[in-house]
Amino acid sequence: MNKLAITDYLRWLSRHWLLLLIYFGSGIVLAYFYASHLPKIYRASVLFTLNPAVYQQGILREVDDTVLGINSAYASKALTRRPEVRVAFYASSPKFASLVSDELYRKQKNVRSTFDSYTDFEMFTRKYLHYYRFEYDESHIIHWHSYQLSNIKDELTTILESLEQSLLKEISEDLKFQIIILKELLNEDHIEDFSKIIAYQLTIAETRLKLITSKNFSLINIITGIEVNTGPVYPKKNWVIVTFLVFWIIIGVTGLNLYLLRKVEKST
């Protein structure tokens, strides 16, 4: 079997240096052209907190204290579900991603024109709708990605509105159900102390419902305005060019190796 030494490659390259320059030059041009024509994805972000009244009124608390295993105050405190935790569960859930897909696909014409089908857009939403919760300052951030830089701010605004409206609707339905049950209990015959407790709980539920259904109530407080990256976050142009050139070099070396092997075989 014929083997090639490194000197065989160097000898050929020294004789055909102009061809080498043309090959590398064409690779750079093609890499730049390829990177420039890839679909670009842009990102918009918004940082927000919950209305302080949510904490003051105990709204959004599914469980005040949940203790698993060790029955101690320390363990109870560590496992308490804070209101923003429930928001975090919802905002990062497939249910919310589906809601966002429905709202944007229905309201944004550019979305319907960009994607071939609703299913494609729903998959895009699940991949590029990013939610994060900051544990210590109780704030939240949403990153939204889009192919259209001009529409991304409107799309993220729609996402925030959907989050707030869906949460308020869910809370309102929960409170209305609680009020119905408490009123039924209040109409039954109970000892006086128990009736007072029920009446107290009913007052709390009615106060909470009145608060969240008031005209000027807002569940979400935006800390920063919607910030939009002017440049695409994907693809990273330099990385695409470097990756393309690596493959271009591999193709060139492979082709040169096959050429020299065949040349050696013919000479023998």
User: Which CATH number does the domain housing residue 142 bear?
Assistant: 3.30.1890
77 and 124 within one domain: yes
Q: How far apart are CA 30 and CA 37, in angstroms?
A: 11
Assign 184 to helix, strand or coil.
helix
Question: Are 141 and 248 in the same domain?
Answer: no
In the prediction, which pLDDT does 69 show?
40
The answer to whether 249 and 1 have CB atoms below 8 angstroms apart is no
User: Which tokens belong to 264?
Assistant: 């050696």
Q: Answer yes or no: is 192 within a domain.
A: no
| DSSP structure class, residue 230 | S
Residue with token string 């927000």: 48
101 and 107 in contact (C-beta within 8 Å)? no
**Is the backbone peptide bond immediately before 235 cis, with ω within 30 degrees of 0?**
yes
Indicate if 89 and 222 belong to the same structural domain: yes
Which pLDDT score, from 0 to 100, does residue 235 have? 78
For residue 115, the model assigns a pLDDT of 92
Query: Based on the domain organization, do 30 and 70 belong to the same domain?
Result: no
Q: Which amino acid is at 252?
A: G
Number of residues in the chain: 268
Tell me if 141 is assigned to some domain. yes
Residues 178-211: b if buried by 16+ CB within 10 A, e if exposed: bbeebeebeeeeeeeeeeeebeebbeebeebbeb
Q: Dump pLDDT digits (tens) for 117-168.
A: 999 999 999 999 999 988 777 789 999 999 989 899 999 999 999 999 999 9
30 vs 248: CA distance, rounded Å = 10
Query: Is there a single domain that holds both residue 25 and residue 82?
Result: no
* CA 208/CA 57 separation, integer angstroms: 7
Domain of 162 in residue numbering reads as: 42-171+217-228
What whole-number distance in Å separates Cα of residue 52 and Cα of residue 60? 12
Please list the pLDDT of the chain residue by residue as tens digits (268 residues): 456 667 777 777 788 788 888 888 998 899 888 888 788 999 999 999 888 888 777 776 544 433 334 444 444 444 444 556 778 888 989 999 999 999 999 998 889 988 999 999 999 999 999 999 887 777 899 999 999 898 999 999 999 999 999 999 988 998 899 999 988 888 877 667 778 888 888 888 898 899 989 888 899 999 888 999 888 888 787 888 899 899 999 998 888 888 777 777 766 6
Give Cα separations from 185 to 34, 179, 189, 208 (angstroms). Answer: 70, 10, 8, 19
Position 151 in a domain = yes
Q: Are 32 and 76 contained in the same domain?
A: no
Burial class (CB in 10 A: 0-12, 13-18, 19+), 142: buried
Q: Quote the CA–CA distance of 174 and 179 in Å, as a whole number.
A: 9
What's the domain count of the chain?
2
Predicted TM-score (pTM) of this structure: 0.73
Residue 226 is given by DSSP the state: P
Position 229 scores a pLDDT of: 86
**Domain match, 26 and 108 both:** no
Residue 76 inside a domain? The answer is: yes
Q: Do 148 and 252 fall within a single domain?
A: no
CA distances from 233 to 11, 143, 201 (A): 44, 12, 50
